[in-house]
Structure 1
């Protein structure tokens, strides 16, 4: 069994073919998927997808790349997170690659999400790009270890991975780990303890080899697992079982819903 810990099934490329997408998940033994929110305007669509399917879950949050948004309050996010299918807060974090200038608003939004996660008692889904030092610093300052979470689509260093894991975060690998030029990430996939690892697609983006350049979908997370198994010299089943157990260990609400 496999679990896609990060996908965007409300995005048009996937939403318009949802039946085929779900069929491919079933075909590849991808039993569950986590649909990630990127803004509050589209959150109802994310929630609707999760509500319509027992094997899908949702998060609530605003991605750091979304600059011109009404800033959420701690209370607003915590209230939305009370829905039984909402199992995490995010996608949140910092991104110094896409946006330039004074990004204090981004850091403040990140703090609001962490405080909401603590208030709601739900894990965080973290996006960090060219901002790892500030991401770790703010996680520490806001005591994010109280709820933990996942460092989604991880491409940072082993040192950053270690610091994140010390705060109770899991390291999630996407299709990037299958790319030939991702040498450092392949080495990282061999180092991260299996009991601290998740797998994801970030679909419709970052399709793994052999689908690179095409629209990604949750069913392709199996290929991420295959690459990790090959890199570590272990069986595909072992990767699937470990990452699935990790998912339910982190997202306890999902585990309760599945019992």
Structure 2
């Protein structure tokens, strides 16, 4: 598989990158050329996630200055220990005043140094915030899928839309999360033939729950340096996903784009993509 895109979407509304971090890595300093390449590859909407208090304003600014960037803001489990005393009030203020989703949030039991109780407290506080304001949520999860399902299942009120991004769970858990109301987002990990878990799981996702993402600048497709990923490579993910599912790439592209636009519909106001 080469870096060149093997198909282009001409009749569909365009591709949607359901999860990326345009504020991180090389993208922060070379964003405009990357956006030009993404648009040339058919990507018409990119959903950029803030991960800690230090990048919220910058990510929000990206959404305000680029019509094709949709924004979510959240406190990622990697940064729970660094949060300030007023983090939740500040996040609520940003959510209340802007058409943004909540994310990236979640649970990460792969961290060597962590406080599970604090992770869960921070996660649930943000889930409650998203539910209260009716915003979509983007969830990160590593080695905590059972616990995540239990916590969400116990919630009295859930956010209207929930996404498990860069899904790394088992195929057996896919219907469990779908029943809870989750969308499942697939990244370039499926381009690695050794990743049987992800390649098996992506086939189990229902068409109406399926999303695709670059997760850039990390988790690049095969043939690209791992931390040099960008939204322009999204067609490579769609091509492999379609092959694994026995579907046409154009169909997968159109379906995932429609799903993503519905998922982030509440964020499409003012300067957002129509």
TM range (shorter): over 0.9
Give the alignment's TM-score, normalised by structure 1.
0.93
How big is each residue's C-alpha offset from its partner over 1:203-242, in whole Å with a ceiling of 9 and x where there is no partner?
1100012325350001111111010111122211101100
Contact 1:5 1:33 (C-alpha < 8 Å) held by counterparts? yes
Give the alignment's TM-score, normalised by structure 2.
0.88
- RMSD, matched Cα: 1.8
- Tell me which residue corresponds to 1:64: 77
Give the distance between the partners of 1:101 and 1:29, measured in 2 at CA.
40
What is the DSSP-based 3-state SS (H/G/I as helix, E as strand, rest coil) of the residue aligned with 1:180? coil
What is the DSSP-based 3-state SS (H/G/I as helix, E as strand, rest coil) of the residue aligned with 2:241? helix
Unaligned stretches of 5+ in structure 2? 1-13
Poorly superposed stretches of 4+, deviation over 3 Å:
71-76, 99-102, 143-146, 254-259
Give the distance between the partners of 1:26 and 1:141, measured in 2 at CA.
41
User: What is the Cα deviation at residue 137 of structure 1?
Assistant: 1.1
Unaligned stretches of 5+ in structure 1? none
- Tell me which residue corresponds to 2:93: 79
1:53 paired with 2:66, answer yes
Q: Which of structures 1 and 2 has the larger relative contact order (alpha carbons within 8 angstroms, sep 6+)?
A: 2
User: What is the Cα deviation at residue 72 of structure 1?
Assistant: 5.4
Give the distance between the partners of 1:13 and 1:143, measured in 2 at CA.
41
User: What is the Cα deviation at residue 179 of structure 1?
Assistant: 0.7
What is the DSSP-based 3-state SS (H/G/I as helix, E as strand, rest coil) of the residue aligned with 1:248? helix
Give the distance between the partners of 1:96 and 1:77, measured in 2 at CA.
24
Q: Give the number of equivalent residue pairs.
A: 258
User: What is the Cα deviation at residue 175 of structure 1?
Assistant: 0.7
